Amino acid sequence: MSRQSPRLQRFYEELLEKDIAYIRPVFDITSRVGHRYSQIDDLLETSSEETLQMLESLSNEGVLDRYFFDKLLSCVKCGSLNVRISTHCKKCNSANIYKAMMLQHEVCGYIGPEEMYRTTTGLVCPKCREEVIFVKPEHATAKISNSSDHRAPIALNSLNVYSTLYRCNHCNELFDDTVELWHCLNCQGRFPKDQVGEVVIYSYKLNEEASHRLRTELRPRRQLQEFLEGQGYAVESPAVIQGRSGVEHEIDLYANKQQGDHIRKVIVGVTRSNGEIGLEEVLKLYVKAHDIGSKDVILFAIPRLTDEARQYAAYYRMKVFQSEDLQRALNDREVWDFLEREEPALKRKEEGIAVTRKRV
């Protein structure tokens, strides 16, 4: 795994501290990907696309387990999720169709569409010419029990729904199944349903191995932060600090403390890899420290730097601590001695004041 950014740190801390079991999406038609992970978006202040990219990356790295949640349909041409389905006539392909109920006369058994029964005087069976009544199924019981018609029981002259078909207003065709076409509202493309794209969306869960490792790493970070706060430092972890150039830098831990007329600024970087860590991480941390104006830089390299990277770190006067994990690195007393010491310039100034007082 590459170096953890402060953004990732906040993400892990949120999962662990609030014991979030699953990261589930919510549908969002305003998002380009059709859904968002709102809790994570709000925490990290990222777009739904950036959050999804991060979750997929962590899944590929084996930090998160991925589970099927649902799927969205998309345009086969442009990939847009803004698609709708339309139904068409099987004969002429017109979308000007409607549902037609096929009604059966109980007495004579005739079956036909509703309009075949309609006359200027009411409903009449086309076959036996008997006057009939159509009662919707949900109203049938009430209508029959309350009827005062003495000619014939309504139940005998009633029409029942036999089936539902479709009628085309363009060619007058009657059919039992429609042709489905998908219409993209983004590129205006049309395509049959067997060509519609599918986008699977997932929920995520921190796997057990990663959870154990991250909890192990979170503890020493807190230990480091609490120690600095006990020494009177204002601490941010993780931190986003604006440098003299105007650029904002992401820092694992940033601490500052007023020492006389000088502010001591401490920058801590934590970088890890499956193997040796190269020069790039050293250079990135140096650039950040230089822009922020910090001369006290600690780099925890898990597990170790390359020889070249160590040489550059020494040249830039970084304090480098190498170990298999952060907790073991913090067992080195030199870490705490470095953080407890005062600025050399401040010491010299105080010593000069003391000498002057003695002479007086």
Report, as an integer, the average pLDDT of 218-241.
87
Residue 337 has pLDDT above 70, yes or no: yes
The 10s digit of each residue's pLDDT in 185-195 is 999 999 988 89
So what's the pLDDT on residue 220? 82
So what's the pLDDT on residue 138? 53
So what's the pLDDT on residue 54? 93
Cα distance between residue 235 and residue 69, in whole Å: 40
Residue 360 has pLDDT above 50, yes or no: no
So what's the pLDDT on residue 66? 96
Architecture of domain 6-79+195-206: Orthogonal Bundle (1.10)
Banded pLDDT at 158 (limits 50, 70, 90): confident
So what's the pLDDT on residue 347? 46
Report, as an integer, the average pLDDT of 153-164.
71
Q: Look over the chain and give the mean of its residue pLDDT values, rounded to a whole number.
A: 84
Q: Burial level of 95, CB count in 10 A (0-12/13-18/19+)? A: middle
Residue 38 has pLDDT above 60, yes or no: yes
Residue 2 has pLDDT above 60, yes or no: no
Kindly report which listed range (34-48, 145-159, 229-243) carries the lowest average pLDDT score. 145-159
Q: 293 or 15: whose pLDDT is higher?
A: 293
So what's the pLDDT on residue 24? 95
The 10s digit of each residue's pLDDT in 271-288 is 888 889 999 999 999 999
So what's the pLDDT on residue 127? 92
**Bridging pattern class, strands 179-184 and 174-175:** unpaired
Cα distance between residue 1 and residue 284, in whole Å: 17
Banded pLDDT at 136 (limits 50, 70, 90): low
Cβ count within 10 A of residue 13? 17
Banded pLDDT at 344 (limits 50, 70, 90): low
What are the structural domain ranges in the chain?
A: 6-79+195-206, 90-177, 213-353
So what's the pLDDT on residue 351? 46
So what's the pLDDT on residue 246? 95
So what's the pLDDT on residue 137? 58
Percentage, residues of the chain above pLDDT 70: 87
CATH 3.40.1350.10, applies to 213-353: yes
Residue 348 has pLDDT above 50, yes or no: no
The model's pTM is: 0.58
Helix or strand or coil: residue 15? helix
Q: What string of DSSP letters covers 64-100? A: EEEEEEEEEEE-TTT--S-EEEEEE-TTT--S-EEEE
Judge contact between 78 and 189, C-beta under 8 A.
Answer: yes
So what's the pLDDT on residue 350? 46
Q: 7 or 139: whose pLDDT is higher?
A: 7
Residue 7 has pLDDT above 80, yes or no: no
Dig out the tokens for 164 from the structure. 């539902």
